[in-house]
Chains A and B, each alone.
Chain A
Amino acid sequence: MSAAESSRVLPSIPASPSLIAGVLRLLAFIDELPAGATGALNFGEHGLILLEARKICWAVSPSMRLRLTDILRNQSTPPLPREAVEEIYRRAKESGAPFGEALVQGGLISEAGLRAALFKHNGEAIAHLASSGVGPVSFVSHLRTGYDPRFSFSACEALAMLGSLDDPARALAAQLELGNTLVQDSFGVAFARNELASGALVIAVDRHCDVPVQDLIEICNWTSGLFDVTHTFDPDATIARATWAGSLALVAWRAKGIGYVSLCTTRAAAARVVSRLENASRSSGVIAAAPRYREGGQ
């Protein structure tokens, strides 16, 4: 098995245009639920998704190949002993605590490791539910699901997880770029062009990205077009900033074939993102070494 294959996030789910369209429909359905929607989205015999405040806490489909226990055991090298995992599972079942969180409390896995494992598990379940072609049959409201918000995921994160399948190394690099560039009061998305998605394929988002997935894709597609048309009169233009609704702004940039958008809730945040990008470009030689005078003229 090659390194690329071994690092694939969801080895049992081949990404395809129909799968991406199905996942988009499913996630758009979640987006349209009320902001505080907490409960079970049922797909009949095909599975369910548990939501808390419209965030995905747990998803399951009987046709899944990977089980959370296996994913969790393989988070460590060497894999966690099956007996230790089973003991924690038994105790969690007795106390009613979520199994993964019990593993964290038991010191067998880190918070980041659990989040990554749940991300993988829920992503695979959503892909299976989407590929079943069956829509949700009911939504049953609960007071709460009992899941820790640290281990829940927005629809945008689920979309990015699926998009990362196409090239996991590229998705990881995009995630790092977002982490190095975003500032307070901003969140962001990375996308690539791909025939699978017939437009922008979302490959990474940061944890604060929680907007309707259709709108996220619309913004990515617009950004992609922006750089296409900009290329006709200034091929060196790599950063753009657009403002709307008073103080909101988006900052778009491209690097190494990946497009990025930072959505900023203040103009100051947008200015800081642009500044970071210019500094990074200058140090890499993309933008000439002459300093640009900052907003405000200082």
Chain B
Amino acid sequence: MSRGPGERSAADASPHDWVCAVASMTTGAVLDDLSRADERERLEGLAATLPELFATIDGHCLERLSQRMGGHGDAHAFSEILMFSENYLHLIQPLTRRPGQALLAVCSAASSIGLALSLMRERVAVLEGE
């Protein structure tokens, strides 16, 4: 049953409709087995953008910008990308210990960004054996 606009609960703040998977940043293919078709559908589109998102930015450009802006750490590639829309929050985090792969997640737009990022980092830690 759907709720009215004034009937949001605290549970709505958590990414309860969270779905995530590992994908190849070079081919854009989802690498995890996703049994549910709706989950696969939600992640395949996002996965397919990975080669475009990560191969088209010049690492030297990011390094030069980092020098001008006072950055530190790994400056030649994006460490996290989030995309916001009316209905969804999309998250991408490349796996540093699994080169060429990234963890992807999609959840409801009403989710807590902080909670979604925490979940991503927890999953990355597990995947990278930390």
**Bound CA span A230–B106, Å:** 13
Chain B CB within 8 A of A288 CB: yes
Contacts A244-B62, A248-B66, A289-B5: A297 and B114 contacting too (C-beta < 8 A)? yes
Chain B CB within 8 A of A148 CB: no
0/1 per residue, B43-85, Cβ < 8 Å to A?
Answer: 0011011001100111001101110111111110111111111
The residue in chain B whose Cβ has the minimal distance to the Cβ of A293 is B112
Contacts A229-B53, A232-B49, A233-B48: A292 and B110 contacting too (C-beta < 8 A)? yes
Chain B CB within 8 A of A134 CB: no
**Bound CA span A81–B62, Å:** 50
Q: Is the CB of B71 within 8 A of A244?
A: yes
Chain A CB within 8 A of B95 CB: no
Determine how close the nearest CB of chain A comes to the CB of B43; give it in whole angstroms: 9
Q: Is the CB of B56 within 8 A of A222?
A: yes
**B81 partner residues in chain A, CB cutoff 8 A:** 240-243
**Bound CA span A289–B70, Å:** 37
**A211 partner residues in chain B, CB cutoff 8 A:** 64-65, 68-69
Q: Is the CB of A236 within 8 A of B86?
A: yes
Q: How many A-B residue pairs have CB under 8 A?
A: 147
The residue in chain B whose Cβ has the minimal distance to the Cβ of A211 is B68
Set A230, A236, A248, A278: member contacting B71, Cβ < 8 A: A248
Contacts A242-B81, A245-B71: A215 and B61 contacting too (C-beta < 8 A)? yes
Set A247, A290, A295, A297: member contacting B109, Cβ < 8 A: A290
Contacts A219-B65, A241-B82, A287-B109: A229 and B52 contacting too (C-beta < 8 A)? yes
Chain A CB within 8 A of B19 CB: no
**Majority secondary structure, B binding face:** mixed
Chain B CB within 8 A of A218 CB: yes
Determine how close the nearest CB of chain B comes to the CB of A110; give it in whole angstroms: 31
Set A226, A240, A247: member contacting B72, Cβ < 8 A: A247
Chain B CB within 8 A of A286 CB: yes
**Bound CA span A37–B12, Å:** 55
The residue in chain A whose Cβ has the minimal distance to the Cβ of B115 is A297
**A36 partner residues in chain B, CB cutoff 8 A:** none
26 contacts between A and B (CB under 8 A): A211-B64, A211-B65, A214-B61, A215-B61, A215-B64, A215-B65, A225-B56, A226-B53, A230-B83, A232-B48, A233-B48, A234-B88, A237-B85, A244-B62, A245-B62, A246-B72, A246-B73, A248-B66, A248-B71, A271-B113, A290-B109, A292-B110, A293-B110, A293-B111, A294-B113, A297-B115
Extra contacts besides A239-B84, A248-B75, A293-B113 (7): CB < 8 Å: A211-B69, A229-B48, A230-B83, A237-B90, A240-B84, A242-B78, A265-B70
The 7 A-B residue pairs with the shortest CB-CB distance, nearest first, are A233-B45, A245-B71, A293-B112, A246-B73, A245-B75, A237-B85, A236-B85
